[in-house]
């Protein structure tokens, strides 16, 4: 999908990407007393709230899971992973608009922008998920070797996210309604994906429709690993993988075809 020359050019501009990630992280917490400590305090507060409310106050239980923290882990796993997906996609759809001045003034590989988005999102996710993993260890709910399955699962999620984000990013330059529409659409997408509820509680006819949602199998696999320590059924992930690769190819094709026009449109 990426030519050797393009990969080489991205590598040559790695300092630009790393500098952009560092600058965004610093700007996020500039003029705050606690600074980067908020990157830990915010997700820690979320994990504590979910754990206390759903496991201790509401006593929420997952079907087939005899664990006090089962639903809390299920919910955190889904919300945190979905957060990585939405951060990459929503930031990618605006990356050309947000960096319009940069695109007009500097000559650099334009694909540095999605790489920067991915790196920044992964940094934020690593902080949050690191805290969540520590909670799993401390509470005695670490899934064991199945935890390694998260590496290909998250890689698939990133590929799908950046492919979709690149398509939306190019289209959003020419049709600004795309960004507004996706902001509404992603809200419905969240609730149509079994994140706060297990798919097993749905009627069989609805479950077959949910299976058409590419995020459903990815989120289910992540939650299965973290809640039950189950290894994913890799065959069920072929559909989102094929869709992710197709979106990446489409995004790159749109980008290459309209790269020059985008600068004029911006």
| Inter-residue contact 65 to 228 (CB < 8 Å) | yes
- Specify the DSSP element, H or E, that contains 21: helix 14-28
Confidence of residue 61 (pLDDT cuts 50, 70, 90): low
Separation between Cα atoms, residue 211 and residue 214, nearest integer Å: 7
Name the CA dihedral angle for 48, 53, 59, 62, rounded to a multiple of 10 degrees: -70
Separation between Cα atoms, residue 123 and residue 10, nearest integer Å: 19
pLDDT of residue 221: 94
pTM for the model stands at 0.86
Q: Which two tokens stand for residue 220?
A: 């289910």
pLDDT of residue 196: 84
Is the pLDDT assigned to residue 181 strictly greater than 60? yes
Confidence of residue 59 (pLDDT cuts 50, 70, 90): low
- The residue among 116 and 43 whose pLDDT is bigger is 116
pLDDT of residue 238: 95
Separation between Cα atoms, residue 212 and residue 243, nearest integer Å: 11
Is the pLDDT assigned to residue 80 strictly greater than 70? yes
Is the pLDDT assigned to residue 30 strictly greater than 70? no
Q: Which two tokens stand for residue 261?
A: 């026009």
pLDDT of residue 114: 86
Return the residue matching tokens 């990630």: 21
Separation between Cα atoms, residue 42 and residue 143, nearest integer Å: 24
Separation between Cα atoms, residue 42 and residue 129, nearest integer Å: 12
Sign of CA dihedral 229, 133, 238, 63: positive
Confidence of residue 88 (pLDDT cuts 50, 70, 90): very high
Is the pLDDT assigned to residue 243 strictly greater than 60? yes
pLDDT of residue 28: 67
Percent of the chain clearing pLDDT 90 (strictly above): 29
| Inter-residue contact 111 to 10 (CB < 8 Å) | yes
Start-to-end C-alpha separation, the chain: 26
| Inter-residue contact 167 to 92 (CB < 8 Å) | no
State the chain's mean pLDDT as an integer: 82
Question: Taking the mean position of all CA atoms in its chain, how far away is CA 116?
Answer: 14
């Amino acid at each position: 999908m990426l030519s050797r020359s393009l990969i080489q050019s991205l590598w040559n501009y790695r300092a630009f990407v790393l500098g952009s990630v560092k600058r965004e992280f610093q700007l996020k917490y500039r003029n705050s007393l606690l600074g980067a400590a908020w990157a830990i305090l915010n997700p820690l507060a979320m994990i504590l709230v979910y754990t206390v409310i759903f496991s201790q106050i509401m006593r929420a239980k997952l079907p087939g899971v005899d664990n006090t923290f089962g639903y809390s882990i299920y919910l955190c796993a889904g919300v945190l992973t979905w957060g990585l997906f939405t951060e990459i996609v929503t930031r990618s759809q605006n990356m050309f608009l947000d960096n319009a001045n940069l695109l007009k003034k500097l000559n650099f590989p334009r694909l540095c922008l999605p790489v920067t988005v991915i790196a920044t999102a992964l940094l934020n996710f690593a902080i949050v998920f690191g805290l969540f993993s520590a909670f799993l260890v401390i509470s005695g709910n670490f899934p064991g070797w199945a935890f390694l399955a998260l590496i290909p699962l998250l890689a698939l999620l990133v590929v799908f996210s950046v492919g979709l984000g690149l398509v939306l990013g190019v289209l959003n330059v020419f049709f600004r309604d795309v960004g507004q529409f996706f902001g509404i659409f992603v809200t419905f997408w969240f609730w149509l994906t079994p994140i706060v509820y297990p798919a097993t509680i749905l009627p069989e006819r609805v479950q077959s429709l949910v299976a058409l949602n590419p995020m459903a199998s990815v989120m289910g696999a992540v939650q299965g690993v973290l809640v039950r320590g189950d290894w994913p059924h890799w065959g069920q992930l072929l559909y989102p993988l094929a869709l992710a690769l197709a979106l990446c190819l489409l995004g790159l094709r749109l980008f290459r075809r309209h790269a020059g026009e985008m600068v004029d449109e911006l």
